[in-house]
A and B are shown apart, each in its own frame.
Chain A
Amino acid sequence: MASDGDLVRLALGGQLVAYEELVRRWSARVLAVCHSKVRSALTAEELAQETLLRGFRALRTLDDPAKFGPWLCGIAARASLDWLKSGQARQVSLEGMSDGQADAWVLQPGETPEEATDRADEHRRLLGEVAALPEVYREVILLYYYDDVTYQELAAILGVSTATVNSRLTKARALLRERLTGLKR
Chain B
Amino acid sequence: MHCDEALQHLNARTDGELSVRQAEQLAHHLAECPSCRTAAAGLPALDADLRHVFASRRAAAARLAERTIAAVRLAGDLPAPQAKPFTPARSFAWAQALLALAAGFLLAIVIFRPWQSPQAPPAAVAMRPPIARLAVASAP
Residue numbers of A with Cβ under 8 A of B are 11-12, 14, 16, 19-20, 23-24, 27-28, 31, 35, 41, 45, 48-49, 52-53, 56-57, 59-60, 100-104, 122-123, 126-127, 130, 141, 144-147, 150-151, 162, 166-167, 169-170, 173-174, 176-177, 180, 185
B39 contacts which of A123, A141, A185 (Cβ < 8 Å)? A185
A41 contacts which of B15, B52, B57, B65 (Cβ < 8 Å)? B57
Please, which residues of chain B bring their CB within 8 A of the CB of A174? 7
Cβ of B8 < 8 Å from any Cβ of A? Answer: yes
A166 contacts which of B12, B58, B61, B72 (Cβ < 8 Å)? B12
Instruction: Decide if B61 touches A147 in the complex (CB within 8 Å).
Output: yes
Please, which residues of chain A bring their CB within 8 A of the CB of B54? 145-146
Instruction: Decide if B65 touches A23 in the complex (CB within 8 Å).
Output: yes
Give Cα distance in the complex from A11 to B79, angstroms: 11
Give Cα distance in the complex from A122 to B46, angstroms: 12
Supply 17 A–B pairs (Cβ within 8 Å), ascending by A: A11-B78, A27-B64, A27-B65, A28-B62, A31-B60, A53-B71, A60-B79, A103-B56, A104-B56, A123-B52, A123-B53, A126-B50, A151-B12, A173-B11, A176-B50, A177-B46, A180-B46
Residue numbers of B with Cβ under 8 A of A are 7-8, 10-12, 15, 17, 35, 39, 42-43, 46-47, 49-62, 64-65, 67-69, 71-73, 75, 77-79, 81
